[in-house]
Amino acid sequence: MDIDYAIRKDEPLAITDESSSVIVALYERWERSNQFSVMFIKTKISTKMHGYVDQHEKVRDLFKVIDDQFITSDKTLASTQIMKFSSLWLTSVKGVCKYIMQMRDILA
């Protein structure tokens, strides 16, 4: 089974009485994949984001919310790393080698 099928493919048209068995099978495959993907994300996501996760039933919508949440986190992380980088002086670290290694660790 393709668990990521709902991520890769758009949601098929809703099932009607006139839908063929192929279309019904395709929709059921997408729906099952969507449910598994959402369930997996809900079990692996941070508890801080559960309020955002519980509001969405489609995996693509959920990815958009998660992506929007991390845009602000990237800015905060960049600001924190710049502060660490600028506050590290060679005089506060013993040895050039240790200084270079600490600078590398901040950027990694």
- pLDDT per residue rounded down to tens, the chain (108 residues): 678 888 888 888 888 888 888 988 989 999 999 999 888 888 877 766 667 667 788 988 888 887 777 666 666 777 777 777 677 666 665 777 777 777 777 665
The distance of Cα 21 from the centroid of its chain, to the nearest Å, equals: 34
Q: pTM of the predicted model, to two decimals?
A: 0.59
Q: Which helix (H) or strand (E) holds 62?
A: helix 59-87
